[in-house]
Amino acid sequence: MQQARAARIVAITNQKGGVGKTTTAVNLSGELARRGRRVLLVDSDPQGNATTSLGIAKRGLKASSYDLLMGTAALDRTVIASGRADLSLVPADQDLAGAAVELTEAERREFRLRDALAEARTRYDWVVLDCPPSLGMLTLNALCAADSVLIPLQCEYLALEGLAQLKSTLDRVREGLNRNLHISGVVMTMYDGRTNLAQQVVDEVQRHFPRLIYRTLIPRSVRLSEAPSHGQLISEYDAQSRGAQAYSALAEEFLQREERVS
């Protein structure tokens, strides 16, 4: 039996697009839910890819993360069922793109999401925030709301440069806006063990950030790419695939790290 505690909030973020951020947010959420944790996935990206990855149509949403962020709907009105046990969703659509502009003059603009998610702390075990590929107002709101940050990093040559920039941003957020924020770790994605480059990038990240890098490597996988188009988690689409096994292992490693901290 798990000891009751307030939910922890983790932001999945990287300012670079195409690094497996949404794939990680969706499948980590699914794996945590499969382990009996009550999970709320918040789609904080105007593209709404986390929403469609779960098989939920963006057209006709009664409320979304835009409404949650702007204060026009409470958490109860924005949360919808994902069709999976213990996994709920706050969906997103293109309306969210306007939030950054609308928040420019808003009071407590950096803390809108944190305030809106306050009651989620007592209802869930984990709240997972899928951030947009930028370091703008939407991501800043997620970082101010989060307890920890998980950084997906593609196995490519320029990965370290982007990681250094992101880490600098996180340090500034921690110093000025959210002292409780910590980096859960860096997850290497799109790993292809057949290439020397992939292993060299992993080795470089290990050398520069030895305490941050996760042991679990997420492989480059056609099955992982196909699953969202069917509105399925990788564990639903192909439970025996390397991608499914990797996200299962990632969830175990994530819980080991985070439950030590909490």
pLDDT in tens, 133-172: 988 999 999 999 999 999 999 998 887 788 888 989 999 9
Closest CA to 237 of 23, 79, 10: 23
Q: Residue 112: is its pLDDT beyond 80?
A: yes
DSSP assignment of 58-115 equals STT-S--HHHHHHTSS-HHHH-EEEEETTEEEE---GGGGGHHHHTTT-TTGGGHHHH
What is the average pLDDT value for the chain, to the nearest integer?
A: 93
* Res. 98: pLDDT tops 50: yes
- 100-115 mean pLDDT: 88
3-state secondary structure of 15: coil
Kindly report, residue by residue over 207-259, the tens digit of the pLDDT: 888 889 999 999 999 999 999 999 999 999 999 999 999 999 999 999 999 87
Q: Where are the domains of the chain?
A: 8-254
Q: Return the minimum-mean-pLDDT range out of 60-74, 105-119, 154-168, 171-185.
A: 154-168
Between these two residues, 249 and 104, which has the higher pLDDT value? 249
The reported pLDDT for the residue numbered 178 is: 97
Measured distance CA(224)–CA(68) in Å, rounded: 30
pTM of the model: 0.95
Distance from C-alpha of 262 to C-alpha of 191, rounded to nearest angstrom: 30
CATH fold for the domain made of 8-254: Rossmann fold (3.40.50)
CA–CA distance, 232 with 193 (Å, rounded to integer): 26
| Averaged pLDDT, 114-139 | 95
Structure tokens given for 102: 């609308």
Rounded-to-integer distance, Cα 225 and Cα 223, Å:
5
User: pLDDT at residue 4 above 60?
Assistant: no
